[in-house]
């Protein structure tokens, strides 16, 4: 990994664990173990690093969504991989919350111009989920269902972070799973032909 | 309102709108329009102000929950008042998210010792909701249902803040309302005696 990638990687982690505002330029340089001079060669401002971090998150999210799509031909199975993130990442979530939601909210509070760019990560998830529900025959309601599943992930992450209660996370995953099964059983395509 | 209360009030607002970390001592003094000397007479550190802000939020939350309890004899009607917050406060939520969840998460990321104190506001809501569901006959499941309703509020607030989509908030409120009706229809007390 090149120096630039190491900086972005360290900043990505620090922004998640400590927040964007409270992570200093110096802390990132220290985490990478490089001189100020070398650091400034790659990035002049913290906002430039933020932009690179958001780009990296967009790229890794696209990669993850593509991998989930490739891993199963069944869109419901793919959606379950998304739902399962709150279990897979529960350690980090208990400590720091959801990286997508918390950065977006911090940038909103800061009135930061990169806010819309950061919301792009949510948009990737939303679009991908919508596509799965379209494939499942949910038609015009696909986007509403996608947003509800996203809301599940955010609500679960926020309370998991506040209460650090693993059982709660499993209960919410079961609940959204049951809700999805019910929602899909009543979709237009199953009312008609079958 | 005395000077101390004015400081706490201004800090409460600024911590919500800008975040705790990015709100300076000086910004709070400026918002209140008092001298540094007068300010230091009341608070020596930002952490002292934070403690007072959390106390104020605990007190105002208790007052609001008591008022909701007094306003209706029907626990489901009381719960609907909680659910309705995401509509009542949707302007602020679109701009800044939920004040309870976002402060709790920021303090978690900062590793701040006041984190548990801030979670106390969530605990007030959780306990109050649980009591309503106990009164509705949900017995041992009352706390699970309370947590699910809290998760609804947090998920809705986070996505409302990200996408600033008012229709989404109304849809989620309808959805949790339908879910609650279904959940209450299947509670133990209605399976038995009736």
Written as tens digits, the pLDDT of chain B (194 aa) is 899 999 999 999 999 999 999 999 899 999 999 988 888 999 999 999 999 999 999 999 999 999 999 999 999 999 999 999 999 999 999 999 999 999 999 999 999 999 999 999 999 999 999 999 999 999 999 999 999 999 999 999 999 999 999 899 999 999 999 999 988 888 765 544 43
In sequence order, the 6+-apart residues with CB closer than 8 A to the CB of B104 are A158, A161, A162, B115, B118, B119, B121, B122
The burial of A25, by beta-carbon neighbours within 10 Å (0-12 exposed, 13-18 middle, 19 or more buried), is given as middle
What are the angstrom distances between the C-alpha of B91 and each of A25, B85, B100? 34, 11, 16
Whether A168 contacts chain B with CB within 8 A: yes
Contact A158 B151 (CB under 8 A): yes
Who among B95, B108, B155 is closest to A155 (CB)?
B155
The verdict on A116 touching B (C-beta cutoff 8 Å) is: no
Q: What is the pLDDT along chain A (194 residues), one digit of tens a residue?
A: 899 999 999 999 999 999 999 999 899 999 999 988 888 999 999 999 999 999 999 999 999 999 999 999 999 999 999 999 999 999 999 999 999 999 999 999 999 999 999 999 999 999 999 999 999 999 999 999 999 999 999 999 999 999 999 899 999 999 999 999 988 888 765 544 43
Using alpha carbons, select from A181, A83, A169, A176 the residue that is nearest to residue B147.
Answer: A169
Top-tier CATH class for A1-44: mainly alpha
Instruction: Tell if the CB–CB gap between B101 and A158 is shorter than 8 Å.
Output: yes
Angle CA(B104)–CA(B106)–CA(B108) in degrees, nearest 5?
A: 70
Q: Residue B1: exposed, middle, or buried by beta-carbon count in 10 A (0-12, 13-18, 19+)?
A: exposed
Whether A99 has its CB under 8 Å from any CB of chain B: the answer is no
d(CA B142, CA B131) in angstroms, rounded, equals 7
> What's the confidence (pLDDT) of residue A194?
38
Q: How far does the CA of residue B1 sit from the closest CA of chain A (Å)?
A: 27
- Going from N- to C-terminal start, the domains of chain A cover 1-44, 54-185
CATH code 1.10.357.10 for B54-185: yes
With a cut of 0.90, is the ipTM above it?
yes
Q: What is the pLDDT of residue A36?
A: 84
Chain A CB within 8 Å of residue B96 CB: yes
- In this complex, is the C-beta atom of B40 within 8 Å of any C-beta atom belonging to chain A? no
Query: Can you spell out the DSSP letters for B11-45?
Result: HHHHHHHH-STT--HHHHHHHHT--HHHHHHH-SS
**Cβ neighbours, 10 Å, residue A186:** 10
* Distance from C-alpha of A42 to C-alpha of B118, rounded to nearest angstrom: 39
Partner-chain residue, chosen from A104, A154, A161, that has the shortest CB–CB distance to B155: A154
Q: Is some CB atom of chain A closer than 8 A to the CB atom of B162?
A: yes
Within 8 A of B20 by CB-CB distance, chain A residues are: none
Task: Look up tokens 């309601």; give the residue.
Answer: A141
């Amino acid at each position: 990994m090149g120096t630039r990638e190491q900086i972005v990687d360290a900043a990505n982690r620090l922004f998640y664990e400590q927040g964007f505002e409270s992570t200093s330029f110096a802390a990132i340089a220290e985490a990478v173990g490089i001189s100020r001079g070398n650091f400034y060669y790659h990035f002049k401002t913290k906002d430039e690093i933020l932009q690179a971090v958001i780009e990296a998150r967009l790229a890794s999210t696209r990669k993850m969504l593509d991998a989930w799509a490739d891993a199963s031909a069944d869109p419901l199975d793919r959606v379950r991989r998304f739902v399962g993130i709150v279990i897979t990442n529960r350690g980090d979530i208990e400590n720091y919350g959801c990286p997508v939601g918390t950065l977006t909210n911090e940038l909103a509070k800061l009135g930061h111009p990169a806010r819309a760019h950061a919301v792009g990560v949510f948009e990737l998830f939303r679009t991908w989920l919508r596509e799965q529900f379209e494939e499942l025959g949910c038609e015009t309601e696909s986007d509403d269902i996608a947003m509800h599943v996203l809301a599940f992930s955010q609500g679960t992450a926020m309370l998991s972070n506040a209460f650090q209660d693993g059982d709660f996370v499993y209960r919410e995953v079961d609940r959204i799973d049951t809700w999805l099964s019910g929602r899909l059983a009543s979709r237009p395509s199953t009312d008609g032909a079958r």
